[in-house]
Structure 1
Amino acid sequence: MRIFGLIGFPLSHSFSKKYFTEKFSREGITDASYELFPLQTISLLPDLFRSQPHLRGLNVTIPYKQAVLPYLDQLHPAAARIGAVNVIRIGENGSKTGYNSDYFGFTSSLFEWFSQVHKDGSVEDIIKQCKALVLGTGGASKAVKAALEDLQINYISVSRQPAQNQLSYDQLTEAILKEHTLIINTTPLGMSPDTQNFPPIPYQYLTTGHYLYDLVYNPEETVFMQKGKDKGAFVLNGLPMLYGQAEKSWEIWNSNE
């Protein structure tokens, strides 16, 4: 029996076990199981590897997408470029290779979303006309930024503190929001169980021309999304990205490369 799973902390919000368990049942995959491995500290990862000899792959979630890097033997070039890992492939010899499927999940879900919103236009042209605000600086934001760069979408990073090439939430003005119509929340703000939290952007400046993409998927509609809908903005949660990155994870774990 091959074992796959998810590391992070906490994991009460995760849909991954349900997703893969249903996938295995639906597709008749009888030699695999998917488990949750909540690690209070990333230093416990070697103990997990030792205690699970049949472990063949892991997903990595908050807060370990960057902290996991020193525990890997090698990185796929895309993961090295992004600087964050959310998929670990464990070889028969125990070698551990880090990958990033968030990039794929975000890109595919963004195109699917814009295709649904703009059925009569060229989605690629519409996407390239956007400018984005990326809320947060964690591991997920790195994959999102790499995808935006490849899509030729100009973006500004936003966090609690201003820094080089980065604004603080307090520095967001009406003019900035008017120019940057795609707003992507890569932080855990609003994630279950703290569902009343939300990124402190000036929501009063949102319009019907804005797109709010929340990488949080539990709850299905966050306060961030609700505030966007109240202004007529288009909103999307992180479930499509989850599905996309999950399928990419399965592809990585089962690749012959």
Structure 2
Amino acid sequence: MTVRAIDARRAAVLGSPIAHSLSPVLHRAAYRELGLADWSYDRFEVDEESLTGFLDGLGPEWAGLSLTMPLKRAVVPLLDGVTETAASVEAVNTVVFAEDGRRTGDNTDIPGMVAALRERGIEQVDSAAILGAGATASSALAALARICTGEVVAYVRSAERAAEMRQWGERLGVEVRTADWADAAEALRAPLVIATTPAGTTDALAGAVPERPATLFDVLYDPWPTDLAARWSAYGGAVVGGLDLLVHQAVLQVEQMTGRAPAPLDVMRKAGEHALAAR
């Protein structure tokens, strides 16, 4: 992607609610480390109704945007193109502006998940379980399509959600079986468990962690650790957290928006850890 030759460049994260976002901390840390003194990164409260107007009001100094809920799918029809990765889950978390003004959407959550797992030595699993069935769960399925050789069991609360997860599995080439949330404790015996649910949802499962758990990937980062992650760690299991995901997907965003690689992963992680500790 072409990066325009403008000295002062801007980027930001959009969403609603957005005040909690750590993205400015991570991106600004990267800019400092990369010597990009004229770059700025902000956050804006933008919902689906105001997204079109916001995008149309951006000037040529804008390099890119990070998107969080509820904009990841709403932005797709407003773009000039999307990458194959983003198209696979119909969700965009990264928009990069080309020199001619074209808007291209990508999804760095998927490769970010894969990178976070690989950092912990998880290159491949023969089966996995997903807790939840929202947009993050579909990204988790797309990530598992790259590293899981067998069945993925998705634990969901409704028949409608179950059908959606099976459809995503067919689309992504993943063997998906669905199970009722009431049986979610069974998920904890899988070689890899990915929890994609909101804060507090998995707290009741903490007491069901097996004596020798394998790997838990909990996508939350605040509050941290979750009850489930804390019990998992106490029993000696490997835990990948939401900050790991946030940092790895942000690394890819920084590289795309600035054209500079590699982005400073360790610096960005330390900045995120410091910000979370201060909350």
TM-score (structure 2 length as normaliser):
0.76
User: Which consecutive residues of structure 2, in runs of 5 or more, have no partner in the other structure?
Assistant: 1-7, 167-177, 261-279
Residue 221 of structure 2 aligns with which residue?
217
Asked whether the equivalents of residues 49 and 55 of structure 1 are also in contact (C-alpha less than 8 Å), the reply is no
Structure 2 matches for 1:224-235, cutoff 5 A? 224-235=228-239
Structure 2 matches for 1:131-210, cutoff 5 A? 131-153=127-149, 154-162=151-159, 163-164=162-163, 165=166, 166-172=178-184, 174=186, 177-178=188-189, 180-187=190-197, 189-190=198-199, 197-199=200-202, 202-207=205-210, 208-210=212-214
Structure 2 matches for 1:75-94, cutoff 5 A? 75-94=82-101
Deviations 1:2-47 (A, max 9, x none): 11111111122211101111221222102311010111x2121122
If asked which structure has higher relative contact order (CA below 8 Å, sep 6+), I would say: 2
Runs of 4+ aligned residues of structure 1 deviating over 6 Å after TM superposition are none
User: What's the offset of the Cα at 1:173?
Assistant: 5.5
Asked whether the equivalents of residues 102 and 245 of structure 1 are also in contact (C-alpha less than 8 Å), the reply is yes
Residue 56 of structure 1 aligns with which residue?
63
Deviations 1:48-87 (A, max 9, x none): 1233313221111122222221222211112111221110
User: Which consecutive residues of structure 1, in runs of 5 or more, have no partner in the other structure?
Assistant: 116-122, 191-196
Calculate the aligned-residue CA RMSD, in Å. 2.3
Given the superposition, is the C-alpha separation of residues 80 and 69 from structure 1 closer, same or farther in structure 2, using an over 3 Å criterion?
same
Deviations 1:105-158 (A, max 9, x none): 110110112x3xxxxxxx54xx323x2111222332222211211213431222
Residue 272 of structure 2 aligns with which residue?
none
User: What's the offset of the Cα at 1:88?
Assistant: 0.6
Structure with a larger share of its residues in helix: 2
Higher mean C-alpha deviation, range 216-225 or range 82-91: 216-225
Provide the C-alpha distance between the structure 2 equivalents of 1:227 and 1:44, rounded to a whole number of angstroms: 41
Supply the AA of the counterpart residue of 1:198.
T
Asked whether the equivalents of residues 169 and 201 of structure 1 are also in contact (C-alpha less than 8 Å), the reply is no
The number of residues matched between the two structures is 235
